[in-house]
Chain A
Amino acid sequence: MDSVTKRYPDGTVAVDRLSLEIPDRSITVLVGPSGCGKTTTLRMINRMVEPSEGTILLDGEDLQRQPVTTLRRSMGYVIQNAGLFQHRTILDNIATVPRMLGRGKQKSRERAAELMERVGLDASLAKRYPYQLSGGQQQRVGVARALAADPPVLLMDEPFSAVDPVVRKGLQDELLRIQDELGKTIVFVTHDIDEAIKLGTMVAVMRTGGRLAQFAPPAELLSDPADAFVEDFLGADRGIRRLSFFSSAGLELTRGPVVRADAGAERLAAADGAPHLLVTDADGRPLGWAEPRGLSAGDLAAGPLLSCGRPFVPGTDSLRAALDCAVLSPTGWAVAVDADGRVIGVVSQQTIGEAIRSAHGAGSPGDERTAEEPADVTKVAP
């Protein structure tokens, strides 16, 4: 988008000289407060709204050079309340664009069935009508319908805003999974900064009046907000949230305080000095924390145990998850488990704190910045 402006007939400037380069095969999120021109920007991409000034190029070619229906048929479009056709079955809703493109009824339906599976809809829903589906399911149908003709571009306008938080999380995870498989160029509009940070490869923060405030990968947004508006929009705990982008793989774990419930007296003696012991069952799954004093060897699980809370999986979970475990742990130690839930070690808040400092020192994940930016560290370090 090159210096694009949209002025509505009533004089409202919805988008003001916006220039954006939307990368191929990744998710670009437009985020900002209500009325800042996100929808207008998105709708200029499929020419539901025509720009007043500036040009929009797709793969180097001006959008205006294509017939508008051809353009739109090459882009999937998903809106807030799905906008399903209530007189058509789920299968026929999804088959709409292939049918429009002249593919046969049978072929289109086969394709639709394929997509139902891809977006996680049970095949038994195929013959149902939209009113028989929950909001979350309808939204999945909306996504499937947009993907049906396999368009290279997908435009999504607050697609998950109208569903409850649990369903929304499921839909977001599903979108990321689908994107991994299909590699579409997705432009995603939301007013929810957390959603933007979770989904976006690149995030464009817009401010009221339709101006671009910052265009950056989410981690950079969190570490280096361009100005007070962006910083404010990101919210108070952006330092903590930024930890989501660091892996917990490098954390130094210790097995010292980890003992099996049937451990003998000498094992207990070896662990002496640790303020707390993590008792596990014979398989190595965590049972709880125990005070070392007054424990009788042989059946540690019999004594009073403090809950060990939710463990984290090093490498899979982020540094933020590890910190969260440590903060919630009654002992201040986070429990690390493998994918099967067996304890591989424990780590203290202090160790996690050091990891955070060194992670920030090394700069944002995935970019080349170094510790030359002390301001970055002081902003986040406790």
Chain B
Amino acid sequence: MNVLNFVNAFFSDGAHWHGYDGIPTRLVEHVQYTLMALGLAAAIGLPVGLLTGHTGRGGNAVAFVATAARALPSFGLLVLIAVVVGIGLLPVMIPLVVLAVPPILVTTYEAVRSLDPAPVDAARGMGMTETGILFRVELPVALPLVLSGLRSAAIQVVSTATIAAYVSLGGLGRYIIDGLYQRDYEKVVGGAALVALLALVTLAVFWAAGRFVVSPGVRRR
């Protein structure tokens, strides 16, 4: 049996479509973990990135934090925190947030810092406040890059959120882990296919968001 057959068998089994272990439930759980982690990471990465990028100060600190965070293995972190604080949402959220902050922080910082200085100078010269400059001059032009940072963070979180299953939580990781344990490869492949699908949907969402929120003057189309 090849992979496609596994996938086919998994999705055509009616038992996989309802109940607490059904696809809709696991999908919703997975999306919840992802959104929560992404929201927390954005709440940290965006303001810090915007501020350091705008002032041009703290660039070294940003680079250091990002490199350090990238060096941490998500799974190791999960186990470590689960040992310290016990099983629950926290040991899942921390590794996911640590994973998602660097791409958001670094691209946002770079996006703002590398902007053409002329419009900023013009805005300041016409009496715009610093907050005004950041949100009305810099952010709209930096937006495509900022979104791309959020996008790579989102993709990484979507695939890594499977680790939630290790600490007895739900999400699509359940199929993969349970499947491996039960030697039910149909389940493993089906779960992996769902994660891949969700990653594609994430890409589509960001593409649509880009079309919607980035000015045509910046997209140059």
Contact = CB atoms under 8 A, between A and B. Distances in A.
A96 B118 contact: no
A77 B119 contact: no
A98 B217 CA distance: 21
A96 B133 CA distance: 12
Interface string A91-131: 00000110010000000000000000000000000000111
A131 B220 contact: yes
Chain A interface SS verdict (over half):
mixed
Given A129-B215, A129-B216, A130-B217, A85 B129 contact: no
A73 interface: yes
Given A85-B137, A87-B140, A89-B217, A79 B128 contact: no
Interface string B98-137: 0000000000000000001011111111111100100011
Given A77-B125, A100-B128, A82 B118 contact: yes
B119 A84 contact: yes
A71 B217 CA distance: 30
Contacts of B124: 48, 72
A100 B215 contact: no
Contacts of B220: 129, 131
Given A83-B118, A88-B215, A129-B217, A71 B127 contact: yes
B121 A79 contact: yes
A81 B118 contact: yes
Contacts of B140: 85, 87
A76 B217 CA distance: 24
Interface in A29-88: 46, 48, 68-73, 76-77, 79-88
A138 to B, nearest CB: 11
Interface in A234-250: none
A146 interface: yes
A100 B136 CA distance: 11
Contacts of A69: 127-129
A46 B121 CA distance: 12
A85 B218 CA distance: 9
B23 interface: no
The residue in B121, B124, B217, B220 that gathers the most chain A C-beta atoms within 10 A of its C-beta is B217
With most chain B CB atoms within 10 A of its CB, the pick from A71, A77, A142 is A77
B141 interface: yes
A81 B125 CA distance: 14
Contact of B218 (A48, A70, A86): A86
10 residue pairs, one from A and one from B, having the closest CB atoms: A129-B217, A83-B122, A72-B127, A77-B125, A83-B118, A87-B215, A73-B127, A87-B140, A69-B127, A83-B119
